[in-house]
Structure 1
Amino acid sequence: MKVKKYNESPKEKAMIDPKKLEEIAKNISAAIPSGVKNVAEEAEGKIKQVLQSQLTKLDFVSREEFDIQSQVLIRTREKLEALEARLDAIESKETTE
């Protein structure tokens, strides 16, 4: 009996790159007119908060969460392959008897 392979990733999530988020916030902050530069740092912080909150609603995941889930997937695939090999060995043993 062969086990049907499953789809790699039925629903992929995008990753939130903190460096990109910081870069976007700085770019928006830099676009603020010079007359209000004294509030640029505060605005940058608020922009980052808003971006983070909106991106969270879009099913984005952090790099850390992605890396953890990637490792879980690797271990799961290894276990699946080991079980498939054991099953194949048992089936071939049964057919020779």
Structure 2
Amino acid sequence: MFNAAQLEGLTRKVLEIIPDEMGQAPEAFKAQLKAGLQRALQDMDLVTREEFDVQTAVLAKTRAKLEAIEQRLADWDKPGKDV
């Protein structure tokens, strides 16, 4: 789902928003944060943008096929139309 670089980047962004007054986050905290983020993202059952785009294309193709079949059925059902 998310590769290591994406997870590292997300962890860095979260750590950047921690106020300076709290000091530098120790390595143990960073590891816990990274693990927590990974669990939360897995629990959300997210997909990558690439997977989403692929499924969108599949859906569009399927929809076009369905519309063509519906049109053929509508034409077939017209009175006086040869099959």
TM-score w.r.t. the length of structure 2 is 0.62
Number of matched pairs: 74
Q: Single out whichever of 83-92 and 48-57 deviates more from structure 2.
A: 48-57
1:34 to 24, 28, 32: 24
Q: CA deviation at 1:74?
A: 0.4
User: What is the CA deviation profile of residues 36-66 of structure 1, one whole-angstrom value per residue up to 9, with x for unaligned ones?
Assistant: 4xx4xx92x7634532331221222211111
Partner Cα separation in structure 1 for residue 24 and residue 34 of structure 2: 20
Q: Which runs of 5+ in 1 are unaligned?
A: 1-15
Map of 1:55 onto structure 2: 41
Q: Distance in 2 between matches of 1:62 and 1:55?
A: 11
Alignment partners' CA distance in 1, 2:25 and 2:80: 85
Distance in structure 2 (CA, Å) of the matches to 1:90 and 1:35: 70
Letter of the 1:22 partner, please give it: G
> Which sections of structure 2, spanning at least 5 residues, go unmatched?
none
Amino acid at match of 1:96: G
Tell me the percent identity.
32
Residue 74, structure 1, aligned to residue 64, structure 2: no
Q: Which of the pair is proportionally richer in strand?
A: 1
**C-alpha separation in 2, matches of 1:79 and 1:87:** 12
Query: What's the CA shift for 1:89?
Result: 0.9
| Superposition CA RMSD, Å | 3.3
Letter paired with 1:47: L
Cα distance between partner residues in 2 of 1:86 and 1:35: 65
2:74 maps to 1:96: no
- What is the one-letter code of the residue matched to 2:9? E
